[in-house]
Amino acid sequence: MTIMMADASRRARNVSACSFDVFDTFLFRACTTPDGVFERVFQLSNISEKFPNMSDSFVQHRIQSETRARKQAKEQRGSTEVHISEIYKCFPFRLFGLTRDALEDLAGLEFAAELELCRVNPEMVQQYLDMKRGGHRVGFISDTYWNSEQLAQLLRAGSPGLVWDFLYASCDHGNSKSEKLFGTYLAEQGVDAASSFHIGDNDNADIKGARRYGIRPRYYPQASAALASKLQRETSIFELLCPGRPSRLDHGARTLRRAVAAQSAERSPGFHLGATVLGPVMTAFDAFIEARRAALAAQGARVSVGFLGRDGLLPHLIWQDAHNQSGVYLEVNRRVSLVGSADTLEPLCDLLGRVDKIDAPTFVDIVKVQPPAVMAFFAKYPDGIASGRELADALPDLMGAHEIIDIAAGVRARLLGYLRAKIPDFDSCTDLILVDLGYSASVQKSLRRIFDCEGIRIRLHGAYLLTLDDAFDDIVDDDTAEGLISDRVVTPHVKRMLIRNVALLEQLCCSAEGSVRDYRDGEVLREDDQRPAGQLALATEVQSGARAYASRAGDLAPRYALQPYREPDTAARWATAVLGRFLLLPDDDELVLLSGFKHDVNLGTQALAAMLDGNFVNDQIIARGIGSACTAPAPPMWLAGSFSLLSPAHAYLYVLFGTNRLPANVFGEAQCGTLQVGLFRRDGQASLETISVHHSGLGELRLRIPLSRRMGVTMIAVPLAKLMRQGMLHGVVVQSGETTGDAAKSPDVRSIGDERLIYAGLERNGRHFHASSEEGTLLIPVDACADDVAIYSVALTSLNHDRILTIDDHGATGGPAATLAWRKTDFAR
C-alpha cells in the first residue's frame, strides 16, 4: 500500500510536455544543406580574399575536423558530443594561412553565419504555441555543438520574445538523443513520457531515440524520400553544370521548395512533378521576366508583356496568377512570323530545309498559295512527298521573288490585326517584352523585320528561359534579348546538351491546342493537334502543380524571410540545376510517368516523334560507341531520358559527355586483339576472316565485321566461346554506306532481332549465354543491302569479370602483366 501511494504521488507530480528538435525542425537554414553554413564562414573570413578558389576545400576540412573531434571525444570521454571550439581545435589553420589564434574567430564567424542563415519555421511556432495553450510544458532538445546559451540566442533571433520551459543541448550533457539525453530530460523535468511528445526530422535521433524512452514521436522530415533523391541529384548536376560556383548558398530556394512540398496535399504524380520540379524553375523565370519589365518601366517605357504560344502558356499562366500587370498570350510561331517577314525566298528556304518530309498540302498551308511549278515539283515524287531539303534547293527555280513578297504582305496584315486585337494600346506602347522558352530569338527577329516594314517603332525585348547567345549578334541596337539560363551561367556546350533535350519541357509547358497557321479578323486559325489526349491531360496536371508551387512559394517566402531571387545569377544557376536534373537525370518515377509523351514537329506537318527510345540508344552504343551515341540526332527527342532507360549510370555518362568530362581515351574503344569469324556465302563457299576485337571503357567487347555486297555473304559465324565461356550478349546491329567509313559513321542503325540469331553449342537464357566447349558459336543472318558496305557490330560482356588488356604498338614488353595481356588478346589461337 505504501509503495502504491508513493507511485500515485510521483505521477501527480509528473506533467506532460512537448519537446522540439531545433535545426531542420524549429529552425531552417537558408542554404541547400547544413554545410552551407561552412561555405558562408569561408565567405565571411579573410580566407576568401587570400584563397578565393578554396571554398570547397574549406568546407571539407571543416567537416573532417568535426569527424576527428568526435572521434577523439569518443576515445577520451566515451561520447561523440563536442563543443564548437573542440571542432576548430582539429582544423588545419596553417593550410589557410592562419595561426591557431584564429580558433575563436572562426568559431565566432560560424555562429554569425548561423544567425544570418537560420529562419524560424512558422509551422513549428504555431505547434509550439498550440501545445503551450494546451497545458503542455514546451522546450527544445537538440543534438548540437552549440551550447544552450548559443541555442537560446539562435531561437530568439528567429522568434523574438520566445520563451520555453526547458532547453537541452547535447554538447552540454555529453550525450545525444540517440544515447541518454532524453533520459536526462525526463528525469530533470519530471515529465510523464507516456503523455508527452517530441517533434523532429531525424529518424534515428528524434524518432527512435524518443521511442526508446516511451515518448511519442512526431516525424517532421525535411523532404520525402523521392524529393530528397531529386535534391541530391540536383547538387551533383549543379557541380557539373556550374563548376567553381558556390553550390550551397542559394538564398533559401531549396528551403522554400521543401516548405512548399511539406505543406502541399498529396495529389497526382503529374501535379507533384509540377509542384516540386517545374514550379521552382518557372517561378525563377517569372522573377527574371518581372525584373526585365521593372527595369524598362523605371526608364519611363510603356511596356507590354507577350508570352509566345504554344510553350509560353505555362509562363503566362504563372505570370497572370502572380502579377497585377496584364500579360497577353500571343499565338505567334516561327513559321508564320518568318513568312510574314520575308522579302526574298531565302528565309522560306531556310525554314523548309529543316523539315524532314513535306507534301503539297503542307506547303500550301505554310505559304497560302499553290504555285503551279511547286505543285508540279511534288507530283514527280512517290505519293507526292519530298524532303524539305530537296524542296528548299529547288524553290528558287519554282517561285519568283514577287510571289513571296505578295504572300508576306498578306501574312503581315493579318498578323498585325491579331496583335492589335490582343495587346491593349498596342500602338501607344513603346516596348514589347516577348517571353518564350528560347532559343535563338527567331520570332523576335522576324517581328522586328515586320515592324520595320510597317513603320512600327516598338522596341522588342526577348526574355527567354534558355538562349543560344551567339545567335543574338544581329539583333538591332534598340532591341535586346536575354536568357535566364544564358552562356554567362553555363558553357555553350552544356547549353546545347540542355536544348537537345528540351522538347520534353516544351510539351509540358505547351497549350492543349494546335499551333497557329494563320489569322482571320484578329482571331487565330490553328492546325489540328495530333498529340494523344492522355498526354495533354497530364501536361495540364503538371501545369497545375507548377502554378500551385508559384502561388504557395509567393506566400511562404516572406513568412520564412527567404529571398531566393535576390541575386539573379544565383537564381539562374539553381534554376539550371533543377531543370538540368529533370531533363538529364530523370528518376524512374518520371520515366514511367512521361513514357507515353510524343513531340509534334510543328512545322506544318502532322508527324509525332518519339520522346523516349532506350533501344535506339543501346543500338547506337553497340554500333558507334557511347561518345557517338551522345551526339545522336533526333528522334528520340529526349535523348537523356532514353539513356536513363538503360540505367542511371548511362544517363550520368551522357551528362559527363555534355560537360566535356567524358575523356575519349577512357570511355572510347581500344583494340585488344583479333578473332577469326566464319563467312558463309550464297554460292555455298565459306571462308575465315580476321577481325579486330575492341574493348570499351566499361569493359565490354565490341566486334565489328565489315562486309561488301559483292561478297554475297548470307551468314556470319562468331565463335563466342573463344572469347568467353559465359557472358552477356547486348545485341547485334548493322550499319550501311557506300564505303566502310560511311557505314561506320552512319547514325542509321538497325538491330538484328534476338529471334533471328542462332546459338550453336551455346545455352541461352535471355541475353545470357554459356558455352560447354570452345565450339560454341553465334550465327548471324546477313540481309540483302542496297548499299555497297554493311558493318555488323556485336557487343558482349564477359561474366567472369576478367579485364582484357590492350597491347600498345610495340607489343608485350615482358613481365607478368604483358604476358597476361598477350594471352587474353590472342583469341584466334
Whole-angstrom Cα distance, residue 451 to residue 461?
13
Q: Which of the residue ranges 343-347, 393-397, 640-644 has the most confident prediction, judged by mean pLDDT? A: 640-644
Say if residue 812's pLDDT is above 60: no
Mean per-residue pLDDT for 591-615?
84
Is the Cβ–Cβ distance between 17 and 196 less than 8 Å? yes
Total domain count for the chain? 4
* Segments forming the whole domain that contains residue 73: 15-222
Cα dihedral 557, 563, 568, 573, rounded to 10, equals: -70
Q: Could you identify the residue written with the cell 523532429?
A: 200
Please tell me whether residues 106 and 178 are part of one structural domain.
yes
Grid coordinates of 646: 538503360
Say if residue 266's pLDDT is above 80: no
**Least confident piece of the model among 37-46, 48-57, 367-376, 632-641:** 367-376
Grid coordinates of 38: 561552412
Q: How confident is the model at residue 815 (pLDDT cuts 50, 70, 90)?
A: very low
Would you mind telling me the total number of residues written for the chain in this entry? 829
Q: Which residue has the higher pLDDT, 809 or 699?
A: 699
Please tell me whether residues 44 and 142 are part of one structural domain.
yes
| Interval 150-172: pLDDT, tens | 999 999 999 999 999 999 999 99
Q: What is the mean pLDDT of the chain?
A: 91
Please tell me whether residues 655 and 714 are part of one structural domain.
no
Q: Is residue 545 part of a domain?
A: no
**Over pLDDT 90: what percentage of the chain?**
77
Phi-psi label, residue 383: left if phi above 0, alpha if psi -120 to 50, beta otherwise: left
Grid coordinates of 547: 502554378
Q: Is residue 183 part of a domain?
A: yes
Own/partner pairs for 651-654, CB < 8 Å, 24+ apart? 651/584, 651/585, 651/586, 652/585, 653/626, 654/584, 654/630
Q: How confident is the model at residue 607 (pLDDT cuts 50, 70, 90)?
A: confident
Please tell me whether residues 637 and 688 are part of one structural domain.
no
Please tell me whether residues 651 and 683 are part of one structural domain.
no
**What's the CA angle centered on 676, arms 670 and 679, to 5 degrees?**
120
Q: How confident is the model at residue 692 (pLDDT cuts 50, 70, 90)?
A: very high
Please tell me whether residues 85 and 204 are part of one structural domain.
yes
Mean per-residue pLDDT for 264-270?
86
Please tell me whether residues 805 and 681 are part of one structural domain.
yes
Mean per-residue pLDDT for 611-634?
94
Q: Is residue 57 part of a domain?
A: yes
Please tell me whether residues 659 and 678 are part of one structural domain.
no
Please tell me whether residues 708 and 625 are part of one structural domain.
no
Q: Which residue has the higher pLDDT, 384 or 413?
A: 413
Is the Cβ–Cβ distance between 188 and 10 less than 8 Å? no
Q: Is residue 243 part of a domain?
A: no
Q: Is residue 715 part of a domain?
A: yes
Which of 394, 480, 470 is closest to 439 using CA atoms? 470
Type and span of the H or E element at 521: none
* pTM recorded for the entire structure: 0.90
Whole-angstrom Cα distance, residue 129 to residue 122?
11
- Interhelix angle 148-158/103-117, rounded to 10 degrees, is 30
Mean per-residue pLDDT for 440-455?
95
Mean per-residue pLDDT for 631-654?
96
Q: Could you identify the residue written with the cell 558556390?
A: 246
| Interval 91-139: pLDDT, tens | 999 999 999 999 999 999 999 999 999 999 999 999 999 999 988 999 9
Which of 680, 638, 367, 329 is closest to 498 using CA atoms? 638
**Least confident piece of the model among 13-27, 475-489, 769-783:** 13-27
Please tell me whether residues 193 and 61 are part of one structural domain.
yes
Which positions ≥6 away from 393 have C-beta within 8 Å?
349, 353
Please tell me whether residues 36 and 146 are part of one structural domain.
yes
